[in-house]
Chain A
Amino acid sequence: MHDFQYHKPSSVADAVAALGSGEDATLVAGGMTLIPTLKQRLAAPSDLVDLSGVADLVGVRDKGDHVEIGAMTTHAAVAASPDVPGCLAELAGNIGDAQVRNRGTIGGSVANNDPTACYPSACLALNATIVTNSREIAADDYFTGMFETALEEGEIITAIRFPKPEAGKYMKFENPASRYALVGVFVAKTGGQVRVAVTGAGQDGVFRATDIESALSSNFSPDAVDSSTIDVDGLNGDIHASAEYRQHLIGVMAKRAVAACA
């Protein structure tokens, strides 16, 4: 890896300042995605701003109708938290392996918006709000493409707010090699509204399967999924799964998720 300047601020304000100081400064959270990229010399930031010293960013807070999860909360902590809705805790508990779950953070995952990551589907399906140092962004407005988000330069995610659903389930079909989501479908019913988000499959990253949503809105049952369609255009194809196979898996995973919600 190339040399960089290392900063370890203890507040969000200091982190923002540090980010602005370098010509090409980058945040590091758990480092599970960033550090391999540095080691492979695919990125060469001038400054690394480590968020692990910002205590305010860690923890799960129960706010009645929603939970607020600090950006620096690890996957393991989310999985173990009694305050987190079960479907979300279960998702966190199946990310990567124990080492990854003990270092990787929800903020890092959502900021990175890997098209095969799990959390983005939870944010969309649960209609989460991404809270940053300067504003609040609705999930629907936040994920803007593969590895692309609405975050501005120098903006830091501080927390994510998830409304508590009546029912919800994430079904992940793992890429056999990486065990990221080859196709992941998050089905949630919150305040009577059904939202279905698909990760791993879209050329532009996570998306809402609106046709399945409307089928399920009138009939929340696995069979209803059969009557909906997923457009194969816009789906990703690679050596592990063609677009057609992903299209098929979205249906299967959606049905299984609905069945598990019942």
Chain B
Amino acid sequence: MSETGIGASVKRKEDKRFLTGQGNYLHDIERPNQSYAYILRSPMAHAKINGIDTAAAAAAPGVLAVFTGADTAELGGIPCGWGVNNKDGSPMAEPKHPMLAEGKVRHVGDQVAVVIAETYEQAKDAAELIDVDYEELPAVVDMVKAISGDGPLVHDEAADNLCYDWELGDEAEVNQAFDGAAHVVSIDVTNNRLVPNAMEPRAAIGEYDKATGEYTLYTTSQNPHVIRLLMGAFVLGLPEHKLRVVAPDVGGGFGSKIYHYAEEAIVTWAAPKVGRPIKWVAERTESFMSDAHGRDHITHADLALDAEGKFLGLKVYTKANMGAYLSTFSTCVPTYLHSTLLAGVYTTPKIYSEVKAIFTNTVPVDAYRGAGRPEATYLLERLVSKAAWELGIDQVEIRRKNFIPKDAFPYQTPVALQYDSGDYDATLDKALELADYAGFPARKAEAAQRGKLRGIGFSTYVEACGIAPSAVVGSLGARAGLFESANVRVHPTGSVSIFTGSHSHGQGHETTFAQLVSETLGIPLDNIDIVHGDTNKVAFGMGTYGSRSLAVGGEAIMKALGKVTDKAKKIAAHIMEASEADIEFKDGKFTVAGTDKEMAFGEIALAAYVPHNFPHDQLEPGLEEQAFYDPMNFTYPGGCHICEVEVDPDTGVVEVVGMTAVDDVGRVINPMIVEGQIHGGLAQGIGQALLEACVYDEDGQLVTGSYMDYCMPRADDLPDFKAATTETLCAHNSLGVKGCGEVGAIGSPPSVINAVLDALRDRGVSDIAMPATPQAVWKALKAAETPMAAE
């Protein structure tokens, strides 16, 4: 293994600029003659707008323009990227998501007007002078009430607030599996709504060049080309060659920066109107009420088992909150990213899933680290543990008994996916050893002496990422392909620029991708630049989400690198006067088999650009190649997370005292970066399980609208993680990689809640919802005590 190639824990190249304050984040960008936008947002969850008087604001000092929905109504709505059909084949309800509210506001934070001024403070001052005549309407927040038939309607065109009623599998057939079952175990779970909270708030600058007619949008995006396509084609009607989208250094996304947001369209559209670049930067309060939220499912599930504890069938009924409008990928999260994962790591032969997607007067909900897979994993792993407890089977045994065996791959699940590789016993074995499962009873006894209830919880999961084979997602309603592009430009002196459609916003691509190049071309990391985030530099890109960057974007780079080495071999053969078949390339050197002739990679690069004696009919000058890679399947990382907690029964406080994560993410390119990704994911998973909850009151006001009430995980909430990997290679890509960005957040929440329940089981507690806050634990303990006291 080279020190800079595949498998090396190379320190992140990008960290030097990030850690020394040299990053170029959106707010660092200042355009000449820039003006500022402030967005006036709805304070109400649901109201009719009878009129907006902007005269005073327009006359306020420094104000350049004020726009409302009346000015933008002719433009397209913010589009949804994935159509889902109802059970009867009819299309989902897809009401317009206007750039600026048109006649009605539908959630607190809905954008009502934009003020553009010389300074941000002037824009904000002027916005206070806008008089909006709201007629408040009853709001609906609760999903059950929303579809009950007598709730208020968020959109007139979505009857009963239903976006779609979708299913996967044959319910009648699954019912048959239940008929012969020895046991049926049922569960009701809520997957709590989360606010993404990227460290850098969303921001955008719109700019228009009168001379060239070119628009430029600088935006905090995970996928600038996707934004160019969605905004250009669907909202503003701008052709791609006149629209440049730049996503510079971006400070975290977790999904929330995938989507096309109204503010991007507003500043781009308004730039030529005011004849100035326009900058908008969200305040943290705005982020809470305008970044797409995550999760928010309510699910009932039934599991049928035989007498020995083998799973026979699974039925899952989910209500998924869409919020007030359909965000870019919102519709595919509860369906194609959730229901297709319900086999988990188990051989359950029959599965049925129904999903009702529901509109409410809340912020739109979309993919958030894991997207659909955490929801599936949570309900499944809670259900499996519940079954074990109800049937008196050991937590580990029930899982092993139902694992897909390692010799069964490729494994076709009953829910559409075909897993290519995995070894679930291997990850479980390693996790049991790392977590010292054997020593748990002693630790529990010791904790009891200190008055603490100790519990251990498991989650053995698989997820589908490396999103995604275009043919598959296309057949399922995706309105885009999910390939990736890469361009390898070898410069005359042998340094290399890689142009990738993936986008790094914390993942370390500038290092990991460079390692692929260093390994393949045998050149040092310092000679490699990874270029991303600008539609004028990178040919095309679908961006970064769904743990796809390495498995799809990295594969595109490998494919382009293959074309480069093929071409370089041709050049080497020509110069060394050998047959192309005799050229070998290793460690950065081209050699002619059986001779001592050799040329370094750099020499070939130079020759490519100084083609004095090239046979021009056979060999083109230059050394630059483009590749598009479309994966053949999803990738399937899996693993085992074991959590150990101690509960203080006097206060309800849960302390996570152990967190072991053994994940099979396929081949590991940079172990340090993988470990970092897993640590981050675990922190988010523990945050969801114990701390984070986005709460609305009945009127649709966001109760947790700041960090005073929305609880983010902090370092002292977390234990030292034990993270390790096992490796089965992805069977359908050249690197054998699977993806590691989301596994921590997907696998861990049920392990935490199962640990809490294991701790509380002796006290008669059998259910607790996320987040298991001190108050929730105390209430559960109290409720379990009361009937016993009555006896």
A245: chain B residues at CB < 8 Å are 652, 775, 778-779
Question: Among the listed A2, A178, A241, which residue makes an inter-chain contact with B707, where contact means beta carbons less than 8 Å apart?
Answer: A178
Contacts of A242 in B (CB 8 A): 775, 779
> What residues of A have a CB within 8 angstroms of the CB of B652 in the complex?
245
A211 to B: closest C-beta gap in Å: 20
What residues of A have a CB within 8 angstroms of the CB of B778 in the complex?
Answer: 245, 248
Q: Decide if B695 touches A252 in the complex (CB within 8 Å).
A: no
Interface string of B530-559 (1 = CB under 8 A from A): 000000000000000000000000000000
Beta-carbon contact of B709 and A40 below 8 Å: no
Q: A193 to B436, alpha carbons, bound, how many Å?
A: 51
| B495 interfacial by beta-carbon distance below 8 Å | no
Residue pair A176, B711 in contact (C-beta under 8 Å):
yes
* Contact yes or no, A240 B709, CB < 8 A: yes
Contact B711 A252 (CB under 8 A): no
Contact of A176 among B125, B695, B773, B779 (CB under 8 A): B773
Q: Does A177 reach chain B (CB closer than 8 Å)?
A: yes
Listed residue (A1, A2, A176, A249) with the most chain B CB atoms within 10 angstroms of its CB:
A176
The smallest beta-carbon distance between A31 and chain B, in angstroms, is: 17
Q: Are A239 and B650 in contact (CB under 8 A)?
A: no
User: Counting CB contacts under 8 A, is B175 at the interface?
Assistant: no
**CB of A147 closer than 8 Å to a CB of B:** no
Using known A-B contacts A239-B695, A239-B703, A252-B650, determine if residue A178 contacts B709 with beta carbons closer than 8 Å. yes
The yes or no answer to B85 lying at the interface (CB within 8 A) is no
Find residues 753-791 in chain B having any chain A CB closer than 8 Å to their own CB: 773-775, 778-779
Q: Point out the residues of chain A lying under 8 angstroms from B704, CB to CB.
A: 177, 239
B651 touches A178 (CB 8 A): no
A220 in the interface (beta carbon within 8 A): no
Q: Which residue of B lies closest to A40 (CB)?
A: B285
B691 at the A/B interface (Cβ < 8 Å)?
Answer: yes
Distance, CA A239 to CA B693, complexed state (A):
10
Cross-chain contact A177 with B708 (CB below 8 angstroms): yes
CB of B389 closer than 8 Å to a CB of A: no
Contact A249 B285 (CB under 8 A): no
Question: Which A227-259 residues sit within 8 Å CB-CB of chain B?
Answer: 239-242, 245, 248-249, 252
Which of A2, A177, A248 has a CB less than 8 Å from the CB of B709? Answer: A177
Distance between B784 CB and nearest chain A CB, rounded to angstroms: 15
Shortest Cβ distance from residue B772 to the other chain A in the assembled complex, whole angstroms = 11
Nearest CB in chain B: distance from A248 CB, A:
7
Asked whether A240 and B651 contact (CB < 8 A) given A40-B285, A177-B711, the answer is: no
- How far is A216 from B542 in the complex, measured between Cα atoms in Å? 68
Select which of B121, B650, B708 is within 8 A of A178 by beta carbon.
B708
Q: How far is the CA of A242 from the CA of B651 in the complex (A)?
A: 13
Residues of B within 8 Å of A252, CB to CB, are 650-651
User: Once the chains are docked, how many angstroms separate the CA of A99 from the CA of B651?
Assistant: 29
Tell me the complex Cα distance, A252–B775, Å: 14
| Chain A residue at smallest Cβ distance from B714 | A179
In the complex, what residues of A have CB within 8 A of residue B711's CB? Answer: 176-177
Nearest CB in chain A to that of B778: its residue: A245
Q: B710 near A: Cβ within 8 Å?
A: yes
Cβ contacts A156-178/B at 8 Å (1 or 0 each):
00000000000000000100111
Name the CB-closest residue of B to A245: B775
Q: Which residues of A contact B707 (CB under 8 A)?
A: 177-178
Q: In the docked arrangement, what's the CA distance between A177 and B779, Å? A: 19
Nearest neighbor of B128 in chain A, beta-carbon distance: A41
CA distance A241 to B779 in the complex (A): 10
Contact yes or no, B710 A249, CB < 8 A: no
* Contact residues, A183-207 vs B (CB, 8 A): none
Give the docked Cα–Cα distance between A240 and B708 (Å).
Answer: 11
CB distance from B782 to the nearest CB of A (A): 8
Q: How far is the CB of B608 from chain A (nearest CB, A)?
A: 56
In the complex, the chain B residue whose C-beta lies closest to that of A248 is B778
Nearest chain A CB to B708 CB, angstrom units: 4
Residues of A within 8 A of B121 (CB): 1
How distant is A89 from chain B, measured CB to nearest CB, in Å? 21
Chain A residues near B773 (CB-CB < 8 A):
176, 240
Within 8 A of A (CB), among B705-758: 707-712
Q: Is A241 touching B709 in the complex (CB atoms < 8 A)?
A: no
Query: Which residues of chain A are within 8 angstroms of B128 by Cβ–Cβ distance?
Result: 41
Q: Which residue of A lies closest to B711 (CB)?
A: A177
Give B771 Cβ to nearest chain A Cβ, in Å: 9
Q: How far is the CB of B672 from chain A (nearest CB, A)?
A: 29
- Per-position binary interface string of chain B over residues 184-201, scored 1 when its CB falls under 8 Å from any chain A CB and 0 otherwise: 000000000000000000
Question: In residues 30-77 of chain A, which contact B (Cβ within 8 Å)?
Answer: 40-41
Chain A's closest residue to B779 (CB) is A245
A177 → chain B closest CB, angstroms = 4
Given contacts A40-B285, A173-B651, contact A241 B708 (CB under 8 A): no
Given A40-B285, A245-B779: A176 in contact with B708 (beta carbons within 8 A): no
Docked-complex contact B775 and A241, CB < 8 angstroms: yes
A177–B710 touching, CB < 8 Å: yes
In Å, the complex CA distance between A173 and B708 comes to: 15
Distance between Cα atoms of A224 and B651 in the complex (Å): 19
A177 to B691, CA, bound (A): 8
Nearest chain A residue, comparing its CB with the CB of B651: A252
- Nearest-neighbour CB distance to chain A for B328, whole angstroms, equals 29
Please, how many angstroms separate the alpha-carbon atoms of A245 and B781 in the complex? 12
In the assembled complex, the CB of B74 is this many whole angstroms from the nearest CB of chain A, namely 33
- Shortest Cβ gap from B303 to chain A (Å): 32
Residues of B near A239 (CB, < 8 A) are: 693, 695, 703-704, 709
A1-19: contact bitstring with B at CB < 8 Å (1 yes, 0 no)?
1100000000000000000
Bound complex: CA A240 to CA B695 (Å): 11
Complex Cα–Cα for A177 and B695 (A): 13
Contacts of B712 in A (CB 8 A): 177
Q: Report Cα–Cα, A249/B773, bound state, in Å.
A: 14
For the complex, what is the distance from the CA of A240 to the CA of B779, rounded to whole Å? 12
- Bound CA span A239–B704, Å: 9
Q: Which of B128, B650, B693, B712 has the most CB of A within 10 A?
A: B650
Smallest Cβ-Cβ distance to A173: which chain B residue: B651
User: In the assembled complex, how far is the CB of residue B591 from the closest CB belonging to chain A, in whole angstroms?
Assistant: 60
Q: Which residues of A contact B695 (CB under 8 A)?
A: 239
In the assembly, what is the distance between CA of A177 and CA of B690, in Å?
11
Rounded to whole Å, the gap between the CB of A43 and the closest CB of chain B is: 14
New A-B contacts (20) at CB < 8 Å, excluding given A2-B125, A178-B707: A1-B121, A40-B285, A41-B128, A173-B651, A173-B774, A176-B691, A177-B691, A177-B704, A177-B707, A177-B708, A177-B711, A177-B712, A178-B708, A239-B703, A239-B709, A240-B773, A241-B775, A242-B779, A245-B779, A252-B651
Which 7 pairs from chain A and chain B are nearest by CB? A177-B711, A178-B708, A176-B711, A252-B650, A245-B775, A177-B709, A241-B775
Q: 26 interchain pairs (CB within 8 A)? A: A1-B121, A40-B285, A41-B128, A176-B691, A176-B773, A176-B774, A177-B704, A177-B707, A177-B708, A177-B709, A177-B710, A177-B712, A178-B707, A178-B708, A239-B695, A239-B704, A239-B709, A240-B709, A240-B775, A241-B775, A242-B775, A245-B775, A245-B778, A248-B778, A249-B651, A252-B651
What residues make up the interface of B, taking CB atoms closer than 8 Å to A?
Answer: 121, 125, 128, 285, 650-652, 691, 693, 695, 703-704, 707-712, 773-775, 778-779
